[in-house]
């Protein structure tokens, strides 16, 4: 494998000149640039990425922390990220995380500066314990679809999304609207819900009764959604509409409701959240999150942070949108 030295020798110039040509410096005469380019071509020379990373103290690699519960949305985010990465020479390193321990490892690894120039974390908060080191080491980092006071983030405003769903249900006539939420930090099931505030505020603003018994918090899975429905179904005055915090949960809810012999949307309306591929296939009414855009914008933000460190953590919201399909209808009188 030819090195920069070989090229310099072949072109009859110093390695400095070759390096300048390689990096598009204007400080090279056309004549020499020509000769260098020729030599590169003839030798089939490719600069070594590791040597470069070593030399310029920049890896041109971004890290991506992916929780497995994200499901099919992953490919969408990935598309957005790659859109922002197109042709700027950056690559993506992936770490999947399955549980809290994985998460801690992954964030820890990001802090250990050197592997990458920055990190993207999807749908997932960094553990508070690692936060100091994380911010201390100055690894640029952007959170996607979750927000945190001290870290930059891009995502939808979950409270606004919940409001959208609740207002829609109210508009088509529902008054008994329940919430099947998900914990803000998926690895912290006892914490606050992600749509909680938006749901309550929207209900109150609409003059609808806010009752604790109408709020459930469930994991991001179909069975969890189904379980939440069963519990809601036992209420003396059961809800006629349910707003879920994910499409998975919503699908579980729909299945369970139909399993009880209820009609959806006849006896129960259900709104999902995210507009995953599944929602489309199954005709689920849902609040769409612009997942691809989130990936793109977050990556742009991160690249900015890599180029210009020390910017204050920004939070950018992308608008969510109601997608009407087949799981909502007016309640039967």
Partner DNA sequence: TTGTAGGCGTTATCAG
Partner DNA sequence: CTGATAACGCCTACAA
Quick check: 42 binds DNA (CB under 7 A)? no
Give min distance, CB of 246 to its own copies, in A. 14
Give min distance, CB of 274 to DNA, in A. 42
User: HSE (CB half, 13 Å, CA atoms) of 35?
Assistant: 15
Residue 4 binding result from DNA, its own copies, none, given CB thresholds of 5 to 8 Å by partner type: DNA
Quick check: 119 binds DNA (CB under 7 A)? no
Q: Which is nearer to DNA, 15 or 323 (CB)?
A: 15
Q: Which is nearer to DNA, 11 or 251 (CB)?
A: 11
Indicate the SS3 state at residue 210: coil
Q: Which is nearer to DNA, 16 or 266 (CB)?
A: 16
Residue 28 binding result from DNA, its own copies, none, given CB thresholds of 5 to 8 Å by partner type: DNA
Q: Draw the binding track, 28-67, toward its own copies (x: CB under 8 A; -: no contact).
A: ------------------x-xxxx-xx----x-x--x---
Four-CA torsion 267, 247, 166, 295, nearest 10 degrees: -160
Strands (E), the chain: 61-67, 91-97, 118-122, 141-144, 152-156, 177-181, 215-217, 241-244, 269-274, 286-288, 315-318, 321-323
- DSSP string over 142-206: EEES--BTTBEEEEE-HHHHHHHHHHHHHHTT---EEEEE-BSSTT-TTS-BSSHHHHHHHHHHT
Strands (E), 202-327: 215-217, 241-244, 269-274, 286-288, 315-318, 321-323
Residue 211 binding result from DNA, its own copies, none, given CB thresholds of 5 to 8 Å by partner type: none
Task: Please calculate the CA angle 208-213-217 and round it to the nearest 5 degrees.
Answer: 105
Indicate the SS3 state at residue 121: strand
d(CA 247, CA 185) in angstroms, rounded, equals 17
Quick check: 15 binds DNA (CB under 7 A)? yes
The DSSP secondary-structure symbol of 309 reads: T
Quick check: 14 binds DNA (CB under 7 A)? yes
Q: Which is nearer to DNA, 54 or 188 (CB)?
A: 54
Residue 278 binding result from its own copies, DNA, none, given CB thresholds of 5 to 8 Å by partner type: its own copies
Task: Please calculate the CA angle 48-113-86 and round it to the nearest 5 degrees.
Answer: 55
Quick check: 56 binds DNA (CB under 7 A)? yes
Interface pick for DNA out of 42, 48, 96, 98 (rule CB under 7 A): 48
Residue 29 binding result from its own copies, DNA, none, given CB thresholds of 5 to 8 Å by partner type: DNA
Chain residues that interact with its own copies, rule: CB under 8 A: 1, 46, 48-51, 53-54, 59, 61, 64, 68, 70-72, 74-75, 78-79, 82, 91-96, 112-115, 251, 277-278, 281-282
Chain residues that interact with DNA, rule: CB under 7 A: 1, 3-5, 12-17, 19-20, 22-23, 26-29, 31-33, 45-48, 51-52, 54-57
């Amino acid at each position: 494998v030819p090195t920069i030295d070989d090229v310099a020798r072949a072109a009859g110039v110093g390695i400095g000149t070759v390096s300048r040509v390689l990096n598009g410096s204007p400080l090279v005469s056309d004549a020499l640039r020509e000769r260098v380019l020729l030599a590169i071509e003839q030798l089939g020379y490719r600069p070594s990425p590791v040597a470069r990373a070593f030399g310029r103290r920049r890896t041109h690699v971004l890290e991506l922390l992916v929780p497995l519960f994200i499901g099919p949305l992953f490919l969408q985010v990935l598309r957005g990220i790659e859109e922002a990465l197109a042709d700027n020479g950056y690559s993506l390193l992936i770490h999947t995380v399955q549980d809290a321990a994985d998460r801690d490892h992954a964030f820890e690894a990001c802090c250990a500066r050197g592997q990458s120039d920055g990190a993207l974390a999807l749908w997932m908060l960094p553990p508070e314990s690692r936060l100091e080191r994380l911010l201390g080491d100055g690894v640029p980092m952007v959170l996607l679809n979750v927000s945190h006071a001290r870290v930059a983030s891009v995502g939808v405003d979950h409270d606004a999304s919940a409001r959208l769903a609740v207002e829609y249900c109210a508009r088509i006539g529902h008054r008994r609207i329940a919430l099947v939420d998900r914990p803000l930090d998926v690895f912290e099931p006892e914490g606050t819900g992600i749509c909680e505030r938006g749901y309550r505020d929207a209900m109150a603003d609409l003059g609808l009764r806010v009752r604790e018994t109408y709020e459930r918090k469930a994991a991001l899975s179909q069975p969890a959604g189904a379980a939440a429905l069963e519990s809601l179904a036992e209420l003396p005055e059961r809800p006629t509409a349910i707003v879920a915090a994910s499409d998975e949960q919503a699908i579980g809810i729909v299945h369970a409701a139909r399993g009880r012999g209820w009609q959806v949307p006849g006896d129960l309306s259900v709104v999902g959240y995210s507009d995953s591929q599944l929602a489309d296939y199954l005709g689920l009414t849902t609040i769409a999150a612009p997942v691809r855009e989130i990936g793109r914008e977050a990556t742009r933000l991160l690249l900015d942070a890599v180029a210009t460190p020390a910017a204050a953590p920004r939070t950018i919201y992308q608008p969510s949108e109601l997608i009407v399909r087949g799981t909502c209808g007016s309640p039967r009188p």
